[in-house]
Amino acid sequence: MNIAGYRINLDALLARMIYRWSGRALAAAIIVSITVGLASGLIPPFWRESATFAIVAAPGARVQVDDRSWPHTVYSGAHTVHATMPDGRSAWADIILDASQALTLTLPTGLAEPRERFLPPAAPGSHIAQVWWADGAWRVQSVQNPLPAAQQSPAQTAGVTPTPQPGQIVAVSAAGMERLPTLDAYAGLADQVHVHNRLIEAVYRPNANRGFTDRATGTIEVRGWGAAWTTPISAPLSLLRFAPDGSALLEAEQLPSGGQQVYLITKANIRTPVVAVPGQIARLSWRPDSRAVVIHSLQAEHLTLTLLRLAPTMLAAAIADLPSTSYAGAIVPLTWDAGGLLWLAPDPDGASFLWSAPLSSLIPERQRALEGRALTRLGDGSLRVLTIRDDRVVIGRYQDAIFIGEAMLPRLPLAPDLVGLWQGSELLLQSGDQAWLLDLPEGDG
């Protein structure tokens, strides 16, 4: 090469430079090159055996394994798989491959960004105590905040407990928010459900010669069953709740020894005692076909689940005893399938497991280790959960023991009592006295 009249021999210059490298510098350069090659994937981990791995994703999805476009050769060990749809939806999974393993991973399309709504209390100075699904909507019960000690009346400071003021219940659905004045007027000792556009109501009426606060005697009146049924009671009433199809009414009365006695009232005006539960009933979780219901009862720091089967014959059994402080609003992650009930709860060692109880026997069975704060069964038989992973609230599903993420919810708190209920594409979450409603559209299949 000639530059400005000077002849430069590049081959000799390069040879002279390499000749002057010390052995230590040359070894360091080789080590750095190998490290960069291994980290970037240019040098495969040849000391590990290759694995048989296949990925099934939706048409149009961009699939990457360890940040490299798929397909390419994979070896045994830990890998990260990510599939992204053109509209931005994604699904991801962390897997561990064995050399002798043949794995086929099916990735869903992922979920569109959920529409998140914060549910406010009914009025200033109140907070949300309970949220449950009934009559095609979420019923939100708000109660007054406790007064500070400085504002309590002399009767309160002397240890006399006044009659609590009734809360307010509203129904929240896609159509908007609606007040339920009947339930408020009877301080919650009432219920209503629509069946084929016909309203069925049940209300508690105390004896005329006693005040409403004395619930020891009175009658339960049901309207909409073809005749106005009236059932007398002789113990303090604590609960009235219709089955989803309106064919039966559950009633609970306070027992003198503590706990509550649950009765079933049918259209024939037959009142049958079915089960006694400990403590106070906090909520009911009905099976959609009204064949069974889970009774959540609180006593001290214990939350007891009692499974009650109504058909073909009545049968009841306590299936779980849980720490109440871990479940806001006494909500337990559960769902129904064709065989019975599924729920998530810790075992005696504190590890979270999936449990089941078939309606045929009501005997609880531990299935497998599974983390989750909300649980539902999808149409393809897989389980979808809301869980906390790597300090993030994540929604995903399980393929056997592999968790596949589908959406992240960064605005939700990482609270230890965060728990939720699924109803179709809607997810109700509660933590303490706060509640959120999330719409989770699936998008294109």
The phi and psi torsions of 213 (rounded to 5 degrees) equal -70, -15
Q: Is 78 exposed, middle or buried (0-12, 13-18, 19+ CB in 10 A)?
A: exposed
* CA dist., res. 426 & res. 438, Å (int): 6
pLDDT, one tens digit for every residue, the chain (445 residues): 666 666 767 666 556 555 555 566 666 667 766 666 556 555 555 545 677 899 999 999 999 999 989 988 888 889 999 999 999 999 999 999 988 778 999 999 999 988 999 999 988 889 999 999 999 999 999 998 886 655 555 544 444 434 444 579 999 998 889 999 999 999 889 999 999 999 999 999 887 665 544 545 789 999 999 877 788 887 889 999 999 999 999 999 999 888 999 999 998 888 999 999 999 999 999 999 999 999 999 998 999 999 999 989 999 999 999 999 999 999 999 999 999 999 999 988 889 999 999 999 999 999 999 999 999 999 888 999 999 998 999 999 999 889 999 999 999 999 999 999 999 999 999 999 999 999 987 654 3
Residue 31: enclosing H or E segment and its boundaries? helix 23-40
Structure tokens at 178: 């609606």
* Helical residues (DSSP H) of 82-189, grouped into ranges: 154-157, 181-185
* Cβ neighbours for 33, distance < 8 A, ≥ 6 positions apart: none
Strand 52-56 to 102-106 pairing: parallel
Residues whose CB falls within 8 Å of the CB of residue 317, separated by 6 or more in sequence, listed in order: 306, 307, 357, 362, 363
Sequence spans of domains, the chain: 2-40, 52-106
> Can you name the residues that pair with 239 across neighbouring β-strands?
252
Beta pairing partners, 144:
126
What is the signed CA dihedral for 83, 86, 87, 91, rounded to 10 degrees? 0
Token pair belonging to 213? 């606060």
Number of H-type helices and E-type strands within the chain: 4, 36
Predicted confidence at residue 81, as pLDDT, reads 96
Tokens found for residue 410:
């960064």
E strand or H helix at 15: helix 10-20
pTM attached to this predicted model = 0.83
CB-CB contact of 319 with 362 (8 Å): yes
> What pLDDT sits at residue 79?
92
